[in-house]
Chains A and B, each alone.
Chain A
Protein backbone atom coordinates (compact mmCIF):
# COMPACT_ATOMS: atom_id res chain seq x y z
CA UNK A 1 0.00 0.00 0.00
CA UNK A 2 2.99 2.30 0.47
CA UNK A 3 3.93 2.37 -3.18
CA UNK A 4 4.67 5.86 -4.37
CA UNK A 5 3.79 5.66 -8.05
CA UNK A 6 0.08 5.47 -8.60
CA UNK A 7 -1.49 3.54 -11.39
CA UNK A 8 -4.58 4.94 -13.02
CA UNK A 9 -7.70 2.94 -12.24
CA UNK A 10 -8.15 1.73 -15.79
CA UNK A 11 -4.55 1.44 -16.94
CA UNK A 12 -3.72 -0.95 -19.76
CA UNK A 13 -2.73 -3.65 -17.30
CA UNK A 14 -5.99 -3.34 -15.42
CA UNK A 15 -8.07 -3.45 -18.57
CA UNK A 16 -6.28 -6.65 -19.50
CA UNK A 17 -7.54 -8.19 -16.26
CA UNK A 18 -11.05 -7.91 -17.66
CA UNK A 19 -10.53 -8.66 -21.32
CA UNK A 20 -8.18 -11.64 -21.09
CA UNK A 21 -10.57 -13.97 -19.23
CA UNK A 22 -13.15 -13.33 -21.94
CA UNK A 23 -11.01 -15.00 -24.54
CA UNK A 24 -7.50 -16.37 -24.18
CA UNK A 25 -7.67 -17.45 -20.54
CA UNK A 26 -11.41 -18.07 -20.37
CA UNK A 27 -12.09 -19.84 -17.06
CA UNK A 28 -14.54 -22.34 -18.53
CA UNK A 29 -13.19 -23.33 -21.91
CA UNK A 30 -9.45 -22.90 -21.43
CA UNK A 31 -8.85 -23.39 -17.71
CA UNK A 32 -11.71 -25.92 -17.46
CA UNK A 33 -13.09 -24.60 -14.18
CA UNK A 34 -16.67 -24.21 -13.04
CA UNK A 35 -18.04 -26.57 -15.64
CA UNK A 36 -20.74 -28.11 -13.46
CA UNK A 37 -23.05 -25.15 -13.35
CA UNK A 38 -22.03 -23.87 -16.78
CA UNK A 39 -23.57 -26.95 -18.32
CA UNK A 40 -26.53 -27.54 -16.09
CA UNK A 41 -28.33 -24.19 -15.99
CA UNK A 42 -28.32 -23.43 -19.70
CA UNK A 43 -31.66 -24.81 -20.86
CA UNK A 44 -33.19 -21.34 -20.74
CA UNK A 45 -31.57 -18.03 -21.48
CA UNK A 46 -32.92 -16.21 -18.41
CA UNK A 47 -31.62 -18.87 -16.02
CA UNK A 48 -28.20 -18.59 -17.66
CA UNK A 49 -28.20 -14.79 -17.38
CA UNK A 50 -29.19 -14.74 -13.74
CA UNK A 51 -26.72 -17.48 -12.89
CA UNK A 52 -23.92 -15.48 -14.60
CA UNK A 53 -24.86 -12.36 -12.66
CA UNK A 54 -24.90 -14.31 -9.40
CA UNK A 55 -21.52 -15.91 -10.04
CA UNK A 56 -19.98 -12.61 -11.15
CA UNK A 57 -21.24 -10.88 -8.02
CA UNK A 58 -19.86 -13.60 -5.75
CA UNK A 59 -16.52 -13.64 -7.56
CA UNK A 60 -16.09 -9.86 -7.36
CA UNK A 61 -17.17 -9.53 -3.73
CA UNK A 62 -15.28 -12.63 -2.65
CA UNK A 63 -12.14 -11.39 -4.35
CA UNK A 64 -12.44 -7.98 -2.67
CA UNK A 65 -13.09 -9.42 0.80
CA UNK A 66 -10.25 -11.93 0.63
CA UNK A 67 -7.95 -9.31 -0.85
CA UNK A 68 -8.70 -6.95 2.04
CA UNK A 69 -7.94 -9.72 4.52
CA UNK A 70 -4.98 -11.18 2.64
CA UNK A 71 -2.42 -10.00 5.17
CA UNK A 72 -4.20 -11.36 8.23
CA UNK A 73 -5.30 -14.80 7.03
CA UNK A 74 -2.93 -17.50 8.29
CA UNK A 75 -2.01 -19.54 5.24
CA UNK A 76 -2.71 -22.88 6.96
CA UNK A 77 -6.42 -22.23 7.32
CA UNK A 78 -6.97 -20.08 4.26
CA UNK A 79 -9.17 -22.63 2.47
CA UNK A 80 -11.63 -22.70 5.37
CA UNK A 81 -11.64 -18.90 5.58
CA UNK A 82 -12.31 -18.67 1.84
CA UNK A 83 -15.08 -21.23 2.05
CA UNK A 84 -16.77 -19.34 4.87
CA UNK A 85 -16.58 -16.02 3.03
CA UNK A 86 -17.93 -17.56 -0.17
CA UNK A 87 -20.66 -19.47 1.65
CA UNK A 88 -21.76 -16.27 3.36
CA UNK A 89 -21.93 -14.42 0.02
CA UNK A 90 -23.83 -17.29 -1.59
CA UNK A 91 -26.39 -17.29 1.22
CA UNK A 92 -26.97 -13.58 0.56
CA UNK A 93 -27.33 -14.22 -3.20
CA UNK A 94 -29.71 -17.11 -2.55
CA UNK A 95 -31.94 -15.04 -0.29
CA UNK A 96 -31.99 -12.17 -2.81
CA UNK A 97 -32.91 -14.53 -5.66
CA UNK A 98 -35.66 -16.10 -3.56
CA UNK A 99 -37.03 -12.67 -2.74
CA UNK A 100 -37.02 -11.08 -6.20
CA UNK A 101 -36.98 -13.83 -8.86
CA UNK A 102 -38.56 -16.80 -7.12
CA UNK A 103 -39.30 -18.78 -10.31
CA UNK A 104 -35.73 -18.64 -11.53
CA UNK A 105 -34.45 -19.50 -8.07
CA UNK A 106 -36.74 -22.57 -8.09
CA UNK A 107 -35.52 -23.75 -11.48
CA UNK A 108 -31.87 -23.20 -10.60
CA UNK A 109 -32.54 -25.43 -7.55
CA UNK A 110 -29.31 -26.75 -6.02
CA UNK A 111 -27.08 -24.89 -8.44
CA UNK A 112 -27.30 -21.65 -6.48
CA UNK A 113 -25.86 -23.47 -3.46
CA UNK A 114 -23.24 -25.05 -5.64
CA UNK A 115 -21.75 -21.63 -6.41
CA UNK A 116 -19.88 -22.26 -3.13
CA UNK A 117 -17.89 -25.07 -4.71
CA UNK A 118 -17.58 -23.40 -8.11
CA UNK A 119 -13.90 -23.85 -8.87
CA UNK A 120 -13.65 -20.48 -10.64
CA UNK A 121 -14.30 -18.65 -7.40
CA UNK A 122 -11.94 -20.73 -5.26
CA UNK A 123 -9.38 -20.59 -8.06
CA UNK A 124 -9.44 -16.80 -8.31
CA UNK A 125 -9.30 -16.41 -4.54
CA UNK A 126 -6.30 -18.70 -4.32
CA UNK A 127 -4.49 -17.51 -7.41
CA UNK A 128 -5.22 -13.82 -7.45
CA UNK A 129 -6.93 -12.25 -4.45
CA UNK A 130 -4.43 -13.61 -1.92
CA UNK A 131 -1.63 -11.68 -3.59
CA UNK A 132 -3.16 -8.54 -5.02
CA UNK A 133 -4.79 -5.30 -3.96
CA UNK A 134 -8.60 -4.97 -3.70
CA UNK A 135 -9.16 -2.92 -6.86
CA UNK A 136 -7.18 -5.27 -9.11
CA UNK A 137 -8.89 -8.21 -7.46
CA UNK A 138 -12.30 -6.72 -8.13
CA UNK A 139 -11.43 -6.28 -11.82
CA UNK A 140 -10.06 -9.79 -12.00
CA UNK A 141 -13.23 -11.16 -10.44
CA UNK A 142 -15.34 -9.15 -12.85
CA UNK A 143 -13.36 -10.40 -15.84
CA UNK A 144 -13.60 -14.02 -14.80
CA UNK A 145 -17.27 -13.74 -13.93
CA UNK A 146 -17.98 -12.24 -17.33
CA UNK A 147 -15.88 -14.89 -19.06
CA UNK A 148 -17.97 -17.54 -17.33
CA UNK A 149 -21.17 -15.68 -18.25
CA UNK A 150 -20.13 -15.43 -21.89
CA UNK A 151 -19.85 -19.20 -22.26
CA UNK A 152 -23.11 -19.74 -20.38
CA UNK A 153 -24.98 -17.34 -22.62
CA UNK A 154 -23.57 -18.79 -25.83
CA UNK A 155 -24.51 -22.32 -24.75
CA UNK A 156 -27.96 -21.24 -23.58
CA UNK A 157 -28.58 -19.34 -26.82
CA UNK A 158 -28.03 -22.40 -29.01
CA UNK A 159 -29.76 -24.79 -26.63
CA UNK A 160 -32.90 -22.76 -26.30
CA UNK A 161 -33.09 -21.59 -29.91
CA UNK A 162 -32.77 -25.08 -31.39
CA UNK A 163 -34.36 -26.92 -28.51
CA UNK A 164 -37.56 -24.96 -28.06
CA UNK A 165 -37.43 -22.34 -30.81
CA UNK A 166 -37.57 -19.43 -28.42
CA UNK A 167 -35.39 -17.21 -26.29
CA UNK A 168 -36.47 -16.15 -22.82
CA UNK A 169 -34.92 -12.85 -21.81
CA UNK A 170 -35.62 -11.34 -18.40
CA UNK A 171 -38.01 -8.42 -18.71
CA UNK A 172 -39.19 -9.37 -22.19
CA UNK A 173 -40.58 -12.80 -21.42
CA UNK A 174 -40.35 -15.73 -23.81
CA UNK A 175 -39.74 -14.61 -27.38
CA UNK A 176 -40.92 -17.06 -30.03
CA UNK A 177 -38.30 -16.39 -32.66
CA UNK A 178 -39.20 -18.98 -35.27
CA UNK A 179 -42.27 -18.12 -37.38
CA UNK A 180 -45.11 -20.62 -37.56
CA UNK A 181 -44.60 -21.01 -41.31
CA UNK A 182 -41.34 -22.73 -40.46
CA UNK A 183 -43.13 -25.44 -38.53
CA UNK A 184 -45.77 -25.85 -41.24
CA UNK A 185 -42.97 -26.64 -43.68
CA UNK A 186 -41.98 -29.52 -41.49
CA UNK A 187 -39.36 -27.97 -39.18
CA UNK A 188 -39.22 -29.55 -35.75
CA UNK A 189 -37.57 -28.48 -32.54
CA UNK A 190 -34.65 -30.69 -31.66
CA UNK A 191 -35.63 -32.21 -28.33
CA UNK A 192 -32.09 -33.49 -27.83
CA UNK A 193 -30.89 -29.92 -27.40
CA UNK A 194 -32.86 -29.66 -24.16
CA UNK A 195 -31.18 -32.73 -22.68
CA UNK A 196 -27.94 -32.52 -20.71
CA UNK A 197 -25.49 -34.08 -23.23
CA UNK A 198 -26.06 -31.40 -25.88
CA UNK A 199 -24.42 -28.69 -23.76
CA UNK A 200 -21.26 -30.81 -23.70
CA UNK A 201 -21.23 -30.89 -27.49
CA UNK A 202 -21.79 -27.14 -27.72
CA UNK A 203 -18.95 -26.42 -25.30
CA UNK A 204 -16.70 -28.79 -27.25
CA UNK A 205 -17.44 -26.93 -30.48
CA UNK A 206 -16.87 -23.62 -28.69
CA UNK A 207 -13.45 -24.86 -27.56
CA UNK A 208 -12.71 -26.08 -31.07
CA UNK A 209 -13.52 -22.71 -32.63
CA UNK A 210 -11.71 -20.77 -29.95
CA UNK A 211 -8.54 -22.83 -30.17
CA UNK A 212 -8.53 -22.77 -33.97
CA UNK A 213 -8.65 -18.99 -33.87
CA UNK A 214 -5.93 -18.75 -31.21
CA UNK A 215 -3.37 -21.38 -32.21
CA UNK A 216 -1.11 -20.38 -29.29
CA UNK A 217 -3.59 -22.09 -26.97
CA UNK A 218 -3.02 -25.51 -28.52
CA UNK A 219 -0.34 -27.78 -27.26
CA UNK A 220 -0.54 -28.93 -23.70
Chain B
Protein backbone atom coordinates (compact mmCIF):
# COMPACT_ATOMS: atom_id res chain seq x y z
CA UNK B 1 0.00 0.00 0.00
CA UNK B 2 2.83 2.36 0.82
CA UNK B 3 4.33 1.69 -2.60
CA UNK B 4 1.06 2.57 -4.33
CA UNK B 5 0.89 5.90 -2.56
CA UNK B 6 4.56 6.53 -3.37
CA UNK B 7 3.76 5.88 -7.02
CA UNK B 8 0.81 8.27 -7.03
CA UNK B 9 2.80 10.86 -5.14
CA UNK B 10 5.74 10.78 -7.55
CA UNK B 11 3.54 10.74 -10.66
CA UNK B 12 0.99 13.42 -9.75
CA UNK B 13 1.84 15.47 -6.69
CA UNK B 14 5.54 15.80 -7.43
CA UNK B 15 5.18 15.71 -11.18
CA UNK B 16 8.56 16.10 -12.86
CA UNK B 17 7.37 18.67 -15.37
CA UNK B 18 4.74 20.66 -13.54
CA UNK B 19 6.38 20.89 -10.14
CA UNK B 20 10.10 20.73 -10.84
CA UNK B 21 10.37 21.62 -14.55
CA UNK B 22 12.73 18.71 -15.16
CA UNK B 23 13.21 17.52 -18.70
CA UNK B 24 11.63 20.65 -20.14
CA UNK B 25 14.02 20.84 -23.08
CA UNK B 26 12.95 17.60 -24.72
CA UNK B 27 9.41 18.14 -23.44
CA UNK B 28 9.13 21.31 -25.52
CA UNK B 29 11.15 20.06 -28.48
CA UNK B 30 9.49 16.69 -29.04
CA UNK B 31 5.86 17.52 -28.23
CA UNK B 32 4.64 18.46 -31.68
CA UNK B 33 2.89 15.15 -32.36
CA UNK B 34 1.33 12.61 -30.01
CA UNK B 35 3.02 9.64 -31.65
CA UNK B 36 6.59 10.79 -31.06
CA UNK B 37 5.61 12.02 -27.61
CA UNK B 38 4.42 8.54 -26.67
CA UNK B 39 7.71 7.08 -27.95
CA UNK B 40 9.87 9.47 -25.95
CA UNK B 41 7.68 9.13 -22.85
CA UNK B 42 7.92 5.34 -22.96
CA UNK B 43 11.70 5.56 -23.35
CA UNK B 44 11.92 7.84 -20.32
CA UNK B 45 9.86 5.46 -18.15
CA UNK B 46 12.06 2.58 -19.28
CA UNK B 47 15.34 4.34 -18.54
CA UNK B 48 14.14 5.62 -15.16
CA UNK B 49 13.01 2.10 -14.27
CA UNK B 50 16.60 0.92 -14.72
CA UNK B 51 18.75 3.86 -13.63
CA UNK B 52 17.08 4.87 -10.36
CA UNK B 53 17.47 1.45 -8.66
CA UNK B 54 21.04 1.08 -9.97
CA UNK B 55 21.97 4.51 -8.67
CA UNK B 56 20.23 3.63 -5.39
CA UNK B 57 22.45 0.58 -4.97
CA UNK B 58 25.51 2.64 -5.90
CA UNK B 59 24.53 5.27 -3.35
CA UNK B 60 23.90 2.74 -0.55
CA UNK B 61 26.89 0.49 -1.06
CA UNK B 62 29.58 2.85 -2.39
CA UNK B 63 28.94 6.57 -2.05
CA UNK B 64 27.14 7.27 1.22
CA UNK B 65 29.10 7.97 4.37
CA UNK B 66 29.89 4.63 5.95
CA UNK B 67 28.61 2.76 2.88
CA UNK B 68 31.91 1.00 2.36
CA UNK B 69 31.78 -0.83 5.71
CA UNK B 70 31.25 -4.10 3.84
CA UNK B 71 34.88 -3.84 2.72
CA UNK B 72 36.12 -3.85 6.29
CA UNK B 73 35.78 -1.76 9.42
CA UNK B 74 38.64 0.59 8.48
CA UNK B 75 36.48 2.02 5.67
CA UNK B 76 33.63 2.94 8.02
CA UNK B 77 34.18 6.69 7.88
CA UNK B 78 34.89 7.07 4.18
CA UNK B 79 32.48 9.56 2.61
CA UNK B 80 32.46 9.60 -1.19
CA UNK B 81 29.22 11.52 -1.62
CA UNK B 82 30.97 14.40 -3.39
CA UNK B 83 31.51 11.98 -6.27
CA UNK B 84 27.82 11.29 -6.70
CA UNK B 85 27.23 13.66 -9.65
CA UNK B 86 29.92 12.13 -11.79
CA UNK B 87 29.03 8.56 -10.80
CA UNK B 88 25.32 9.05 -11.47
CA UNK B 89 25.86 10.64 -14.86
CA UNK B 90 28.34 7.91 -15.81
CA UNK B 91 25.84 5.21 -14.79
CA UNK B 92 23.08 6.93 -16.73
CA UNK B 93 25.16 7.41 -19.87
CA UNK B 94 26.37 3.82 -19.88
CA UNK B 95 22.98 2.31 -19.07
CA UNK B 96 21.37 4.30 -21.84
CA UNK B 97 24.02 2.97 -24.22
CA UNK B 98 23.51 -0.58 -22.93
CA UNK B 99 19.74 -0.38 -23.12
CA UNK B 100 20.03 0.91 -26.67
CA UNK B 101 22.18 -2.07 -27.71
CA UNK B 102 19.98 -4.62 -25.93
CA UNK B 103 16.79 -3.23 -27.39
CA UNK B 104 18.34 -3.17 -30.85
CA UNK B 105 19.37 -6.83 -30.50
CA UNK B 106 16.25 -8.31 -28.96
CA UNK B 107 13.39 -6.16 -30.14
CA UNK B 108 13.98 -4.39 -33.43
CA UNK B 109 10.35 -3.21 -33.46
CA UNK B 110 10.75 -1.41 -30.14
CA UNK B 111 14.10 -0.09 -31.30
CA UNK B 112 12.42 1.35 -34.35
CA UNK B 113 9.94 3.13 -32.10
CA UNK B 114 12.36 4.34 -29.41
CA UNK B 115 15.61 4.29 -31.32
CA UNK B 116 16.27 7.94 -32.05
CA UNK B 117 15.12 9.04 -28.60
CA UNK B 118 17.33 6.80 -26.50
CA UNK B 119 20.64 8.67 -26.99
CA UNK B 120 18.85 11.96 -26.28
CA UNK B 121 17.77 10.68 -22.92
CA UNK B 122 21.26 10.58 -21.40
CA UNK B 123 21.17 14.35 -21.16
CA UNK B 124 17.52 14.67 -20.13
CA UNK B 125 17.43 16.44 -16.77
CA UNK B 126 14.49 14.33 -15.61
CA UNK B 127 16.71 11.23 -15.50
CA UNK B 128 19.55 12.74 -13.49
CA UNK B 129 16.98 14.71 -11.49
CA UNK B 130 15.17 11.53 -10.41
CA UNK B 131 18.46 10.04 -9.21
CA UNK B 132 19.35 13.19 -7.27
CA UNK B 133 15.90 13.35 -5.66
CA UNK B 134 16.22 9.66 -4.81
CA UNK B 135 19.48 10.52 -3.03
CA UNK B 136 17.75 13.31 -1.10
CA UNK B 137 14.73 11.27 -0.08
CA UNK B 138 16.83 8.49 1.45
CA UNK B 139 14.64 5.53 0.57
CA UNK B 140 15.01 2.45 2.71
CA UNK B 141 15.12 -0.24 0.01
CA UNK B 142 15.45 -0.88 -3.71
CA UNK B 143 11.71 -1.47 -4.11
CA UNK B 144 10.86 2.05 -3.06
CA UNK B 145 13.52 3.51 -5.32
CA UNK B 146 12.22 1.50 -8.29
CA UNK B 147 8.63 2.56 -7.68
CA UNK B 148 9.77 6.16 -7.36
CA UNK B 149 11.60 5.91 -10.69
CA UNK B 150 8.64 4.40 -12.52
CA UNK B 151 6.25 6.89 -10.92
CA UNK B 152 8.29 9.89 -11.96
CA UNK B 153 8.64 8.47 -15.45
CA UNK B 154 4.90 7.93 -15.66
CA UNK B 155 4.24 11.51 -14.59
CA UNK B 156 6.61 12.75 -17.29
CA UNK B 157 4.97 10.48 -19.89
CA UNK B 158 1.55 11.84 -18.95
CA UNK B 159 2.74 15.43 -19.20
CA UNK B 160 4.36 15.12 -22.61
CA UNK B 161 1.43 13.19 -24.13
CA UNK B 162 -1.05 15.75 -22.79
CA UNK B 163 0.85 18.74 -24.13
CA UNK B 164 1.41 17.05 -27.49
CA UNK B 165 -2.31 16.43 -27.86
CA UNK B 166 -3.11 20.05 -27.02
CA UNK B 167 -0.43 21.39 -29.36
CA UNK B 168 -1.75 19.26 -32.23
CA UNK B 169 -5.19 20.82 -31.78
CA UNK B 170 -3.98 24.35 -31.21
CA UNK B 171 -1.78 24.54 -34.30
CA UNK B 172 -4.85 25.52 -36.34
CA UNK B 173 -6.04 28.36 -34.15
CA UNK B 174 -5.27 32.05 -34.45
CA UNK B 175 -2.57 33.05 -31.99
CA UNK B 176 -0.60 36.33 -32.04
CA UNK B 177 2.40 35.59 -34.24
CA UNK B 178 5.10 36.27 -31.60
CA UNK B 179 3.48 33.75 -29.26
CA UNK B 180 3.20 30.95 -31.82
CA UNK B 181 5.08 27.76 -31.02
CA UNK B 182 7.24 28.01 -27.94
CA UNK B 183 5.45 30.94 -26.32
CA UNK B 184 2.11 29.19 -26.49
CA UNK B 185 3.63 25.94 -25.23
CA UNK B 186 4.87 27.79 -22.15
CA UNK B 187 1.44 29.25 -21.41
CA UNK B 188 -0.22 25.86 -21.91
CA UNK B 189 2.26 24.21 -19.57
CA UNK B 190 1.59 26.92 -17.02
CA UNK B 191 -2.16 26.32 -17.19
CA UNK B 192 -1.69 22.56 -16.90
CA UNK B 193 0.64 23.19 -13.98
CA UNK B 194 -2.12 25.15 -12.27
CA UNK B 195 -4.42 22.18 -12.70
CA UNK B 196 -1.80 19.85 -11.26
CA UNK B 197 -1.45 22.16 -8.25
CA UNK B 198 -4.83 20.80 -7.26
CA UNK B 199 -3.12 17.56 -6.23
CA UNK B 200 -0.96 19.39 -3.71
CA UNK B 201 -3.31 19.07 -0.75
CA UNK B 202 -3.68 15.29 -0.94
CA UNK B 203 -2.52 13.33 2.07
CA UNK B 204 -1.43 9.85 1.11
Digitize A78-94: 1 where CB-to-B-CB distance is under 8 Å, 0 elsewhere.
Answer: 01100110011011001
Once bound together, how far apart are the Cα atoms of A113 and B83, in whole Å? 11
Q: Determine how close the nearest CB of chain A comes to the CB of B184; give it in whole angstroms.
A: 8
Which residues of chain A have C-beta atoms less than 8 A from B18's C-beta?
A: 196-197
In the complex, the answer to whether A35 meets B89 with C-beta atoms within 8 Å is: no
Binds B, one of A16-24, A142-150, A166-174, A203-211: A203-211
Binds A, one of B3-11, B21-29, B42-50, B141-149: B21-29
Digitize A105-145: 1 where CB-to-B-CB distance is under 8 Å, 0 elsewhere.
Answer: 00001100110111100100000000000000000000000
Tally chain A residues at the interface, Cβ within 8 Å. 46
Q: Which residues of B contact A (CB under 8 A)?
A: 18-25, 28-29, 82-86, 88-90, 93, 122-125, 127-129, 132-133, 136, 176-184, 186-187, 189-191, 193-194, 197
Which residues of chain B have C-beta atoms less than 8 A from A209's C-beta?
A: 178
- Given A196-B18, A204-B184, 13 other A-B residues pairs in contact with their CB atoms under 8 A: A32-B29, A35-B24, A39-B21, A91-B82, A110-B129, A116-B89, A117-B124, A197-B18, A197-B189, A200-B186, A200-B193, A207-B183, A211-B179
Q: Determine how close the nearest CB of chain B comes to the CB of A27; give it in whole angstroms.
A: 11
9 A-B pairs with C-beta separation under 8 A:
A37-B125, A87-B90, A88-B86, A91-B85, A196-B21, A204-B183, A204-B190, A208-B176, A212-B178
Q: Determine how close the nearest CB of chain A comes to the CB of B153; give it in whole angstroms.
A: 16
- Chain B residue at smallest Cβ distance from A92: B82
Most buried by A among B125, B128, B184, B197: B125
Once bound together, how far apart are the Cα atoms of A16 and B176, in whole Å? 30
Question: Quick check: is A188 within 8 A (CB to CB) of the other chain?
Answer: no
Which residues of chain B have C-beta atoms less than 8 A from A83's C-beta?
A: 89-90, 93, 122-123
Once bound together, how far apart are the Cα atoms of A39 and B16, in whole Å? 13
Question: Quick check: is A25 within 8 A (CB to CB) of the other chain?
Answer: no
Which residue of A80, A94, A116, A211 is within 8 Å of B178 (Cβ)? A211
Which residues of chain A have C-beta atoms less than 8 A from B128's C-beta?
A: 113-114, 116-117
Once bound together, how far apart are the Cα atoms of A129 and B80, in whole Å? 31
Which residue of A109, A113, A114, A197 is within 8 Å of B191 (Cβ)? A197
Most buried by A among B176, B183, B191: B183
Once bound together, how far apart are the Cα atoms of A80 and B93, in whole Å? 8
In the complex, the answer to whether B177 meets A110 with C-beta atoms within 8 Å is: no
Which residues of chain A have C-beta atoms less than 8 A from B90's C-beta?
A: 83-84, 87
Most buried by A among B86, B88, B90, B136: B86
Q: Which residues of A contact B (CB under 8 A)?
A: 29, 32-37, 39-40, 79-80, 83-84, 87-88, 90-91, 94-95, 109-110, 113-114, 116-119, 122, 195-201, 203-204, 207-212, 218-220
Q: Determine how close the nearest CB of chain A comes to the CB of B22; give it in whole angstroms.
A: 5
Once bound together, how far apart are the Cα atoms of A160 and B18, in whole Å? 19
Which residue of A36, A91, A201, A218 is within 8 Å of B177 (Cβ)? A218
Once bound together, how far apart are the Cα atoms of A142 and B61, in whole Å? 39
Once bound together, how far apart are the Cα atoms of A197 and B122, in whole Å? 26
Which residues of chain B have C-beta atoms less than 8 A from A79's C-beta?
A: 93, 122-123
In the complex, the answer to whether A36 meets B136 with C-beta atoms within 8 Å is: no
Once bound together, how far apart are the Cα atoms of A90 and B84, in whole Å? 11
- Chain A residue at smallest Cβ distance from B196: A197
In the complex, the answer to whether B86 meets A197 with C-beta atoms within 8 Å is: no
In the complex, the answer to whether A204 meets B187 with C-beta atoms within 8 Å is: yes
In the complex, the answer to whether B193 meets A196 with C-beta atoms within 8 Å is: yes
